[in-house]
Amino acid sequence: MTSIMNGETEEPMTDAALSYPFARDDACPFAPPAAYQRLRETEPITKVRLYDGREAWMFTRYEDIRTVLAHPAVSAETLAEDFPFLNPADKVSKRAQSFQRWDDPRHAERRRKLMPYFTIKRIERMRPRVRGMIEHFYGELIDAGPPADLVGKLALAIPSTVACDLLGVDYADHTFFETRFAVRLDRDSSAEQVRAANAELVEYVDRVVRSKYGQRNEDLLGRFVNDHVETGEVTHEDAVIDANLLLLAGHETTANMIALGTLALLEHPGELARIQRDKSLVPMAVEELLRYLTISQSMGVRLAKDDFEVSGCPIHAGDGLIVPVAAANYDDSVFGSPHTLDLSRPEARRHLTFGYGTHGCLGQPLARMELAEVFSTIFDRLPGLRADIPLDRVDFKKQAVFYGLRSLPVSWDDDAARTRRAARQEKGD
């Protein structure tokens, strides 16, 4: 048996706590680390060891993970002395993450200022505009012709453009912020690299926020400045950190879902054929892809601020808590045959990919809409879409906060190719 630990050594598993994070299983690039399932069956509440030698509780059952994420004794405050981190860069990155890393009621107060921008009705009103943006990128791909890098030309371009449009950020700057966020989200980055990337991002977003002052704005950041910063409710510094979070969360997550989701569908042609036959299946297919791929690899980390119990196990104030949503999403007591991609799985919406409890993803209605728009059109607009390399050569972001692909060379049947084929068929060869 090969080691499931991060290091190269094959430590006996009974010896001490396992090191966390776990490495992903090479055999199936879509599935979460196999260790989650083994632990769920043997020690569903256990201790793992973190990079700094510290131990933390780890939970692998769906209900326990929901309990922890929604518990009032559990804190997301990364500035707390005892907060557990996954590596030095994780510490730098997570300590710079605005109200996402506050507890209620302070967190809820800030979140409520942003919630009206993400209602289902509001997101529905954005749909035609988003459809137009997606169509623009298909058009560019089709004009240039195959082959192309699906990640750069589509998967990242679409959510990046949508986020810029919504927030009021100039898409012309996309390469600048995308590359800096990529450093911040790479678990292999050093603390110094993350600190430097973050400083550049803060300086950039500071300029964006300043540009919103003294005028009536229609975009989200501008409205936020008008309604809450110019009134003195929210400081400029806080607004910059919040804007930074929204820009990050608005592009990188959906980008990984588009890239990885497209690849997963190409690898499951039978499932793909089902949504191609009946597009009304797409919204539930998106939920299943969100569950099956669970791109969040580092997010479920918390601190106990009071004593409490989870399934009879006593947790003490100051204990670190690891709640990997990927483990919850593959709990077979909730999702039957979790390793099967089933695009009409009736319970798919119960996944915890967007988190659970008060810190659940604010932008989830937007992400759902963008993903449904992409997966209901991409295989029509790029007919015969296929990866140009075998699965074992695909560049997966194994060490990223959000799992995904660095690039994916693809081809499709363009008009010229179809004309040539039709001509060949006419000639009878």
Partner 1 sequence: MRITVEPGKCVASGLCVLVEDSVFDQDDATGTVRLLVDTDPPPDVRENVREAARVCPALAISITEDSRSDA
Torsion angle (degrees, nearest 10) of CA 257, 259, 265, 268:
-110
Q: E-assigned strands of 215-312?
A: 301-304, 308-310
Smaller CB distance to partner 1: residue 119 or 419? 119
Minimum CB distance to partner 1, residue 118 (Å): 6
Site stretch for partner 1 (CB under 8 A), options 219-227, 306-314, 351-359, 396-404: 351-359
Contact letters for partner 1, residues 66-85 (x by CB under 8 A): ----x---------------
125 lies in the site for partner 1, by CB under 8 A = no
Give the angle 175-181-182 at the CA atoms, nearest 5°.
85
250 binds partner 1 (CB under 8 A): no
Omega within 30 of 0 (cis) for the link into 146: no
Asked if 355 touches partner 1 (CB under 8 A), the answer is yes
**364 near partner 1, judged by CB under 8 A:** yes
- Considering the complex, state which of residue 24 and residue 111 has its C-beta at the smaller distance from partner 1: 111
The binder of partner 1 chosen from 9, 112, 143, 427 (CB under 8 A)? 112
Among 17, 191, 361, 417, binds partner 1 (CB under 8 A): 361
Q: How far is the CB of 376 from partner 1 (least distance, A)?
A: 16
Distance, CA of 33 to CA of 427 (rounded, Å): 52
Question: Which of 141/295 has CB closer to partner 1?
Answer: 295
| Owner of token pair 């060379």 | 409
Place of tokens 């597009």: 279
CA-CA distances (angstroms) from residue 74 to 65, 112, 155, 273?
12, 20, 35, 43
Shortest spacing between CB 167 and partner 1, in angstroms: 17
Rounded Cα–Cα distance for residues 200 and 259 (Å): 27
Say whether residue 111 binds partner 1 (CB under 8 A): yes
- 266-305: contacts with partner 1 (CB under 8 A): 283
Residue 92 near residue 195, CB atoms below 8 Å: yes
Q: Is 309 helix (H, G, I), strand (E, B) or coil?
A: strand
- Taking the complex as a whole, the smallest distance from the CB of residue 360 to partner 1 amounts, in Å, to 4
Q: Is 350 in the site for partner 1 (CB under 8 A)?
A: yes
Minimum gap (Å) between residue 124 Cβ and partner 1 = 10
Closest CA to 264 of 415, 396, 88, 81: 396
Task: Answer whether 243's CB lies under 8 Å from 223's CB.
Answer: no
**Binding residue (CB under 8 A) for partner 1 from 88, 152, 360, 409:** 360
> Are 371 and 222 contacting, i.e. CB atoms less than 8 angstroms apart?
no
DSSP 8-class letter at 356: S
Site for partner 1 contains 375 (CB under 8 A): no
How far from 163 is each of 70, 98, 133, 220, 309, CA to CA, in Å? 28, 18, 11, 10, 40
Per CB under 8 A, 54 contacts partner 1: no
Provide, rounded to whole angstroms, the least separation between the CB of residue 65 and partner 1: 12
What is the binding site for partner 1 (CB under 8 A)?
70, 111-112, 115-123, 283, 349-350, 354-358, 360-362, 364-365, 368
